[in-house]
Structure 1
Amino acid sequence: MSMINIAERHKYILGKLHETGAVTVLDLCKELDVSAVTIRKDLKLLEDKALLFRSHGGATIDNPYTNDKPVNEKESIRREEKNTIGQAAAALIDRNDAVIIASGTTVQALARSIHPKGQLTVITGALNVSLELLRHPEIEVIQLGGHLRNSSTSVTGPYAERVLADFSCSKLFLGVDGIDLEFGCTTTNILEAHLNQKMMAAAQKTIVLADSSKFGKRGFGRICGLEEVDEIITDKGVADHLVAKLEEMGVKVTIV
């Protein structure tokens, strides 16, 4: 395929991007038989025209960087998908279970869907989650304390982290702002990411709840690599090639 001109290369790159959602410099070099320098220049030109977003070692069709939005604004986004994901997650809670629920609007949808079997203990740093659960007398809520973030109504900081060290739970239900195959699970706040890591250490299993718009996105704070996640519950908007890659990595993917 060598000796093709710049316009043909751009057409090929954009065609491939629309097909798979992401391309790598390495693959494009092989497929187009040109140097990495040439491909990087092509990607820069296409990014300048707002046709793609350059990422580490390649490019994506969607903006990979996610910003911190207030929780009330997030709640109205993809509400139906979040509710379905929340219901699927609630079905994983066993009789007399002890679980940790992190923060975010998808885990809030989980809290709304919980109808406890026997006694249930829930540890959470998120006020909106606690308020949903207080309606059930058979749920014991352990509210983590600390610095309250007004954009997410959840706490962060050393007080919350210290309390978690005393517990061992069966599952952590984790909401994230981004899932990237290389960079892993991320959130827009570094303190929240740190608390999430402590939650993972206090749970035997980590279950990520994320609608399909979170894939290919990167928040500022890295929580963990995907190899540390046991299961991801998402909606049918997630691309098949991503599901295949995640399953190769040993992550169970549940599509609702």
Structure 2
Amino acid sequence: MSNLLERHQHIIELIKKEGSIKVTDLCTDLNVSSVTIRKDLQFLEDRKLLFRTHGGATLTNPYIADRHVDEKVTLQANEKQRVGAYAASLVEPNDCILIASGTTVQFFARNLLAKEGLTVVTSALNVALELMNRDNVEVIQLGGLMRKTSASVTGIYAESILQDFSCSKLFLGVDGIDTDFGLTTSNMMEALLNKKMIGASQKTIVLADSSKFGKRGFGKICGLDDIEQIITDSNISAHTVKTLEEMGVEVTIV
């Protein structure tokens, strides 16, 4: 397929189907050089038909702006509710779990039934407030600098407290999931605390609605090889699910 218009139409059709594409795959598919594909992607981006990324392109803007938690809690609320409800079913009696910040984990906390002997360690004030009146749930609120946009703490003090804990599961909310770059959030300090949380837990479970895939925030939390499971909604593309599973990540669709 050497015709310029045909190539551009093929690229647009493919990216609409898959959500994102890689330069290497397009080179093989269209039998042209990487220089040609990059010129094609630049042409299409200039006309606002896609967004270029490192090594490929995506249909939606991959870069995340920081938003206040009060705004984010209203976005994809139904999907977050389903993700949170399923995640809550994974908590067992006498569990000691970590809950990071975010609005999806807030839905998780709302669905978390009182389990005998449950201990929750969290950086998120909104999560602590959801759980503070639950019988049989002991809440340990991490301390530190309060980040107002996420209603959570960050900093060295919160990180140092985690050195004294070993938890069975971490329920982690993120701003972006990129199969090449990994998990990200819009704040560097929050990303550093999330890394410490991963180190303090035996299993990391990511709670993310499908809008988070193909996105990147400023602060990298970790690569996909550092997590065990992602719980998301049914709007995730089959291509993304296959890629994640090939990387050894369990994907649960609710």
With the shorter chain as reference, the TM-score category is over 0.9
**In the alignment, does 2:64 pair up with 1:55?**
no
SS in structure 1 at match of 2:164: coil
Shift of 1:30: 2.6
C-alpha distance in structure 2 between counterparts of 1:35 and 1:246, whole Å: 27
Question: 1:66 corresponds to which residue?
Answer: 64
Shift of 1:17: 1.1
SS in structure 1 at match of 2:21: strand
Alignment of 1:204-215 (within 5 A): 204-215=202-213
Per-residue CA shift, 1:194-246, capped at 9, x if unaligned?
A: 00000011100000000000011111111111111111110001111111111
| Aligned pair partner of 2:82 in 38, 60, 84 | 84
| Aligned pair partner of 2:118 in 117, 120, 132 | 120
C-alpha distance in structure 1 between counterparts of 2:173 and 2:207, whole Å: 5
Q: Is this contact kept in 1: 2:233–2:253, CA < 8 A?
A: yes
C-alpha distance in structure 2 between counterparts of 1:84 and 1:20, whole Å: 24
Question: 2:26 corresponds to which residue?
Answer: 28
Q: Which amino acid in the other structure matches residue 213 of structure 2? A: F
Shift of 1:66: 1.2
Q: Which amino acid in the other structure matches residue 214 of structure 1? A: K
C-alpha distance in structure 2 between counterparts of 1:23 and 1:96, whole Å: 44
Q: Is this contact kept in 1: 2:115–2:137, CA < 8 A?
A: no
Shift of 1:35: 2.2
SS in structure 2 at match of 1:148: strand
Q: Which amino acid in the other structure matches residue 249 of structure 2? A: V
SS in structure 2 at match of 1:165: helix
Shift of 1:5: 2.6
Per-residue CA shift, 1:159-207, capped at 9, x if unaligned?
A: 0000000000100000000111111111000100000000011100000
Q: Which amino acid in the other structure matches residue 226 of structure 1? A: L
Shift of 1:38: 1.7
Shift of 1:69: 0.5
Question: 1:134 corresponds to which residue?
Answer: 132
| Aligned pair partner of 2:217 in 216, 219, 222 | 219
Question: 1:248 corresponds to which residue?
Answer: 246
C-alpha distance in structure 2 between counterparts of 1:245 and 1:181, whole Å: 7
Shift of 1:141: 0.7
Q: Is this contact kept in 1: 2:114–2:135, CA < 8 A?
A: no
What is the root-mean-square deviation of aligned Cα atoms in Å?
Answer: 1.0
Q: Which amino acid in the other structure matches residue 220 of structure 1? A: F
Shifted more, 160-169 versus 30-39: the winner is: 30-39
Identity over aligned pairs, percent:
60
Question: 1:160 corresponds to which residue?
Answer: 158
**In the alignment, does 2:55 pair up with 1:40?**
no
Per-residue CA shift, 1:108-152, capped at 9, x if unaligned?
A: 001111112212110001100000001113211111010001100
C-alpha distance in structure 2 between counterparts of 1:243 and 1:7, whole Å: 30
Q: Name the TM-score, length of structure 2 as normaliser.
A: 0.97
Shifted more, 22-31 versus 140-149: the winner is: 22-31
How many residues were matched structurally? 254
